[in-house]
A and B are shown apart, each in its own frame.
Chain A
Amino acid sequence: MSYEPNWMKKRRDLARSLINRLPEPKYGVHIDLDEFLYEAKKWYRVETIDDLPPEVREVLNRMGLFSRNSAIQVDGDIVYNELRKNIPDGVIVENIEAAIRKYPYIENYWFKTVPLSLNKLTAINAAYSRGGFFIHVGEKVRLKTPIQACFLVASSKYAQLPHNILIAEPHSEVHILTGCTALTFTAFSLHAGLTEIFVKEGARVIYTMIHMWPPGVHIRPLKGVVVENGGEFISNYVLLRGGASLQAFPTVILRGRAATTSTRSIVIGTDSTDIDLGKAVYLLGEKSSARLISRAVAMGKSNIKIRLKALGKAHNVKAHLECDGIIVSDEASIKAIPELIGHSKNAELHHEASIGKVAEEQLLYLMSRGFEPEEATALIVRGFLDPSGMGLPKPLERQVRAMVKMFVEKAL
């Protein structure tokens, strides 16, 4: 363990003392968190991306995230980081351990969006976190190209627990693109990274995540976001493969006046994966607004739960939740669980949800154009999951579309 300041050591001690007293995570299938290893072998830094082990390069390539201009963490170690060379003045990008030593103010952002004592998993992350990124975008700095970071689990039984912190100062703008995956034959491992995001007044943060997990990995990402006056948080999530199980229920707190968030999720359930995915938005600032859209396709024997929650506690807040699901296989299932809570007489909160099979009319239409039933289904499902509404940069949008095509066709 590298040098850590006293405040950090104290919090780790506190977290360790709490682990066995805290409840299991509320949602998701049960996994025995004591079964994982919280220390793994050391991965050494490489100078160029071509020096990465071939199996790491191969899996990043498959996700379309093999980029020289990126940072890559394997298990607990950041093995490659070229971000610093390409960022403008006013932006800090560091691995979190180095940043903690350099910037004492990080203490004020550590476990400020997610309570350390929320459950056993948050305490485990607080106690044993290793790796992660610190990104601090200065006031009025607007980054044109996304900052890209990848997290890869390589060791079986290992629990990957990075802690990322992103601070967007007033009127700044940044797009973060993260890819999370594991080596194909990684067995029974855990990814439970924590990401804390602070969107200050008038700032705009776009956060795009692409997940592709092989069947042996359990995924429990934790995320908390706080948005101040006039700030905007846009989240895009693409789940191509959900591993053994995946549970996430990030929280966005719209604390400031006219703070906004919009999130879009594309979820593909394949094999026997169990996915329990959602988002909670707390509209605490006057005139704050949220739009959460989720699209899920359940194939194989997958089970998908989508939980969307909006709580309106200030005047003139608006939230719209939308969840659509297509079930392609009789052995698959989707459950939509929307929750609206109003604590203000003029809060406007809505939800729409629909779950069904592929529309017969569309299927027959494409078959009458000569497509086999499987081809027609794939075209409809790919269209349903089309990322064009996400506002991604065009090259990334094309990449996501190609990956969705590949995964849908493979699964069908």
Chain B
Amino acid sequence: MPTLEIIDLDIAVKDRVILRDVNLELERGKVSVLMGPNASGKTSLAMAIVGNPMYRVLKGRILLEGEDILGLPIHERVKRGISIAYQSPPEIRGLKLYDLLNLLAERRGVRRKYVEEVLHLLNINSQLLNRDLYVGFSGGEKKRIEMVQILISRPKVAILDEPDSGVDVDSLKLISNAIRTLLREGTAVLLITHYRLILQEIPADPVYIAIKGRVKECDASIVQIIEKCGYGCIERGVCDVV
């Protein structure tokens, strides 16, 4: 049984349907990739899975280890084991990163030593820990700290929304290491990305493509095709892989 199964899902924002008939499976200890042009609905799918109420599910089911979680609010889904690394997390003034991580660790029953290992893995120094959450952080720092939170949460399902965008090569390697750690711990990962570079670090299969309001499952070779001719050829139907 897949860890997470999405069946015939339609997603809307306000009155506009973003995606229709989405079917997708995430397996324990494996990475599935979701790619697609800008505004194709990738983040909408991520938000619908975590239960952001601004993204309405019009029909379909989301099963976590066989249990339908659609009726659960966002914080309950997290407690059941779904975690997300945001593409652009918000600043929260006055909330120290150190305090947030401590609270998360406490809730998950995670030992201090493990938190220290995670911070070391993602090269987070004590100066960052004492700062207000994301206030004045660089893009790479934000992405790494999102990964820290994911690892501390020890989720069954991790949705990583473009963890590789806007980061330098060193940060990319650290983030890749973090994803490998997740996989070793048995987490099912949905990796949303635009770039092939991270896929050279992290083996992923299958690849899902969001395009024209649909999500299609492809084999990994689609990544090379997209890199060669862009999403345009898929949209125009030139490419028949999808």
Contact = CB atoms under 8 A, between A and B. Distances in A.
Interface of A: 359, 361-362, 364-373, 376, 379-380, 382-386, 388
B45 interface: no
Contacts of A372: 75
Contact of B75 (A370, A383, A388): A370
A370 B75 CA distance: 4
B74 A367 contact: yes
A365 B100 CA distance: 12
A365 B84 CA distance: 10
Interface stretch (B12-20, B85-93, B207-215, B216-224): B85-93
Given A368-B50, A368-B52, A383 B104 contact: no
Given A364-B52, A365-B86, A370-B153, A388 B94 contact: yes
B90 A365 contact: yes
A369 B94 contact: no
7 contacts: A365-B90, A367-B74, A368-B50, A369-B153, A370-B79, A384-B94, A385-B94
A218 B75 CA distance: 41
Contacts of B54: 364
A180 B89 CA distance: 40
B26 to A, nearest CB: 17
A412 B193 CA distance: 40
Contact of A373 (B52, B75, B92, B149): B75
B95 interface: yes
A371 B153 CA distance: 12
Report which residue of B75, B94, B133, B149 has the largest number of chain A beta carbons within 10 angstroms of its beta carbon: B94
B43 to A, nearest CB: 13
A367 B74 CA distance: 6
B63 interface: no
B92 A365 contact: yes
Contacts of B92: 362, 365-366, 379-380, 383
A384 to B, nearest CB: 6
Main secondary structure of the interface of A (DSSP, over half): helix
A369 B149 contact: yes
Contacts of A384: 93-94
B107 interface: yes
A369 B101 CA distance: 10
Contacts, number: 62
Given A359-B90, A361-B90, A368 B74 contact: yes
A280 to B, nearest CB: 27
A388 B114 CA distance: 29
Interface in B65-95: 73-75, 78-79, 83-84, 86, 89-90, 92-95
Contacts of B94: 382-386, 388
A368 B54 CA distance: 13
Given A365-B92, A383-B92, 6 more contacts: A367-B78, A368-B84, A369-B104, A371-B103, A383-B93, A386-B94
Contacts of B89: 365
Contact of A369 (B51, B78, B93, B132): B78
B107 A370 contact: yes
B93 A370 contact: no
A398 to B, nearest CB: 12
A388 B79 CA distance: 32
B115 to A, nearest CB: 14
A84 to B, nearest CB: 38
Contacts of B103: 371
Nearest to A324: B93
Contacts of A388: 94
A373 B54 CA distance: 15
Contacts of B153: 369-370
A326 to B, nearest CB: 12
B93 A368 contact: no
A362 B86 CA distance: 12
B47 to A, nearest CB: 9
A396 B152 CA distance: 32
Nearest to B108: A370
B95 A364 contact: no
Interface string B142-153: 000000010001
Contacts of A382: 94-95
A371 B75 contact: yes
Given A364-B52, A365-B90, A380 B78 contact: no
A369 B103 CA distance: 10
A370 B82 CA distance: 10
Given A359-B90, A362-B90, A383 B132 contact: yes
A376 B90 CA distance: 13
Given A361-B90, A370-B75, A380 B104 contact: no
Give 4 nearest A-B pairs by CB, closest first.
Answer: A383-B94, A386-B94, A383-B95, A370-B78
